[in-house]
Amino acid sequence: MISLGVEATAHTFGLGIVSKKEIFVNVKDSYTTEKGGIIPMDAARHHENISDALIKKALSDFEKVGKNKIDLVTYSRGPGIGPCLHVAKNTAKEVAESLGVPFIGVNHCVAHLSVGSLVTNVKDPVLLYASGANTQIIAYEGGKYRVFGETLDQGIGNFLDSFARHIGLGFPGGPKIEALASNSKRYIEIPYSVKGMDISLAGMLTNLKNKFDSGNYKVEDLAYSLQETAFSMLMEVSERAMAHCGKKELLLGGGVACNSRLKEMAEVMCKDRNAKCFIPPNSLLVDNGAMIAYQGILEYESGRREKKVEIKPYERTDDVKVTWK
Ligand code: AMP
Ligand code: MG
């Protein structure tokens, strides 16, 4: 079975074509800004404007690898920005109708987790899902994907992007913060906030903004301290979830997991506790169509059929009925 996936929960419009074993196509085009954050309607317009051209490209790339038969179309139904999700759904519907194949919607966060098994031999991991709007520690326990810890306020990526915006950098800010941080080794004390299994970032953000505004700190030192502190918090809750569930595998997902320092910390933490760390390539960590396509195959093969074509902007990971395990 071959599935074409449409991802459009936020800034990225992505298309992937995959089988259960192989990725044939994974293309995307992302909405970015010079200054300021995501404006929902602008992001949706970006996706709408690019969709026809990107579909053409995906299908022609698919032909170039000697393939032409698509059996299923899958779209990201949520969680995400409403207007963007509509583009995902409408694109999927259009493509599915023109190909004469069925289409279904899947949960974006669960797709981030599942795609790990397409490219690594991960079996039963704790997923550290660190992306723009979402930051969750997820594991499969008792027939469901359960959220063991999460951010109490904003996603780690949004936090990075907000600080970047405050210091005059555009979206996405994460890679720019990473570049700044690589020029410093000077740690400045900032609030470390882990509450039980959850993390909180709002206080750290205010503290960083105040420090920056005071003019008394080098921005490289702030970026370095931010990464060391925020990523340590993620490691603490991930490790605790692994200990609690007795799981020996950590899987990374989400755009912030592209960060080299975060990857390094995850490797070290896993090594220390004799666990394995699985890190998919960056193209599958960020929002992408391949993971949506793959999730579609898992669900379709387990009997899922679309009864009602809908988007679910607020669907939580633990709301998803797992039929494919
Ligand atoms: P996603 O929503 O999963 O596609 O991830 C997007 C988020 O990842 C944005 O907030 C980016 O700033 C962040 N991001 C991308 N690359 C990096 C990086 N190298 N370091 C930190 N954050 C990053
Ligand atoms: Mg994501």
Question: Any residues with CB less than 8 A from the CB of 28 and at least 6 apart, and which?
Answer: 7, 12, 13, 14, 15, 54, 286, 287, 288, 289
Could you tell me how far CA 218 lies from the centroid of its own chain?
Answer: 30
Backbone angles phi, psi at 280, to 5 degrees: -65, 160
Examine the pLDDT at 67 and tell me if it is beyond 90: no
pLDDT (mean) for 258-282: 98
The ligand minimizing its distance to the Cα of 111 is 2
Categorize the per-residue pLDDT at 66 as very low, low, confident or very high, splitting at 50, 70 and 90. Answer: confident
Distance 258 CA to ligand 1 centre (A): 7
- Atom 10, ligand 1: residue with shortest CA distance: 157
For the chain, the average pLDDT equals 96
What is the model's pLDDT at position 91? 97
Q: What is the structure's pLDDT at 185?
A: 98
pLDDT of residue 306: 85
According to the model, what pLDDT value does residue 283 have?
97
| pTM of the full structure | 0.93
Domain ranges of the chain: 3-114+284-319, 121-279
Q: Tell me: pLDDT of 296 over 80.
A: yes
Q: Does domain 121-279 have CATH number 3.30.420.40?
A: yes
Ligand 2 centroid vs 82 CA: distance in angstroms? 15
Higher pLDDT pick, 22 / 67: 22
pLDDT at 68: 82
Determine if ligand 1 sits within 6 Å of the CB of residue 262: no
Which residues does 210 contact at the CB level (< 8 Å), separation at least 6? Answer: none
With the most atoms of ligand 1 within 8 angstroms of its CB, the residue from 28, 151, 160, 226 to mutate is 160
CA distance 153 to 41: 23
Q: How far apart are CA 206 and CA 235, in angstroms?
A: 22
Q: Is 172 in the pocket of ligand 1 (CB under 6 A)?
A: yes
Distance separating alpha carbons of residues 176 and 222, to the nearest angstrom: 13
Predicted confidence at residue 186, as pLDDT, reads: 98
Task: Give domain 3-114+284-319's CATH superfamily.
Answer: ATPase, nucleotide binding domain (3.30.420.40)
